[in-house]
Amino acid sequence: MTIALPPRHTDSEPASSPWQARLPGAVGVAYVVTWVVGLAVWPVNLALNATAAQVTASHHAHPAEASVQYLLIEGLAALLFGFVLACVIRANRDRASRQIAGPAVLSAVAVLTSLAQCAIGLLVTAAATGGHVASSGTLFELLNRLDGVKMLALAAATTWLAATRPVIPRWLRGVTVLLALALIASGYAYLTLSNALAWTAFVSGPLLLLWVAGAGIAATVAARRRTARP
């Protein structure tokens, strides 16, 4: 008697369900929304070389708004970004298994740095509301310098992922080139607290939003194609 075995998937992993396939794109869009809301909550743009007194006065006047902005832009956005990057790395794994370690480490550096910034931002607000001028100024300087570290890590991670090509579409690879250049410039500005180059963040910021949303949608397209396979 012959016993027929159930068919097995030829892929290394079972196909994703439809809602799981749509998740990377939805999270990518949520990342953009989180940033927009975070910027709208407290539309203050302190100079990179702002004095401790200026930092304290700004945060002391709007402690709730400042806290919400740090929680959204540095906290929640970091988690959403990490999820999208994890989906892209996972989608690239089968075809570029030797090339995922670098982007994974760089993405983790960016996410952890952003989460550290979230905590530091809340400490800046607490110090300002408590009247600790020197502490709030020192913490704000650290916050900005960490932004530079994060931007450079993002430049390297997104460029490396785009170079693997399986998931990132051609148009987004073009955006990656512009994004990397802008992130390097703004990362240098924040690391060195160069206010003369602070404007580069207004270029790298929108490009990063576009990249994350586009990468999330691209990962969703790749996941749906895997789901549709017989």
pLDDT at 87: 85
Is 3 inside a domain boundary? no
**pLDDT tens sequence across 118-163:** 999 999 999 999 999 999 999 999 999 999 999 999 999 999 888 8
Going by pLDDT thresholds of 50, 70 and 90, the confidence category of residue 93 is low
pLDDT in tens, 44-58: 889 999 999 999 999
Q: What is the rounded radius of gyration, in angstroms, for the C-alpha atoms of the chain?
A: 20
Helix (H, G, I), strand (E, B) or coil at 217: helix
pLDDT at position 170, please?
86
> Once rounded to an integer, what is the mean pLDDT over residues 2-23?
53
What is residue 92's predicted lDDT score, i.e. its pLDDT?
67
Neighbours of 200 (CB within 10 A): 21
Domain, as residue range, for 66? 24-228
In a domain, 1, yes or no: no
Note the pLDDT of residue 9. 44
Q: Which residues contact 192 (CB under 8 A, 6 or more apart)?
A: 148
The amino acid occupying position 25 is G
Per-residue model confidence (pLDDT) at position 13: 43
Kindly state whether residue 82 falls inside one of the protein's structural domains: yes
**Residue 19, in any domain of the structure:** no
CA atoms within 13 A on the CB side of 172: 25
Q: Is residue 187 part of a domain?
A: yes
Q: What is the pLDDT of residue 102?
A: 81
The reply to whether 2 falls in a domain is no
Long-range CB pairs of 62-68 (<8 Å, 24+ gap) are: 63/125, 63/128, 63/129, 65/41, 66/42, 66/121, 66/124, 66/125, 67/121, 67/122, 67/125, 68/38, 68/41, 68/42
Q: How far is CA 188 from the centre of its chain?
A: 18
Q: In this structure, is residue 47 part of a structural domain?
A: yes
* 106 is a domain residue: yes
User: In angstroms, rounded to a whole number, what is the distance separating the alpha carbons of residues 163 and 155?
Assistant: 12
- Please give the residue that has the higher pLDDT: either 5 or 91: 91
Q: How many domains does the chain have?
A: 1
Structure tokens at 179: 């994004």
For the residues 189-199, what does the mean pLDDT come to? 94
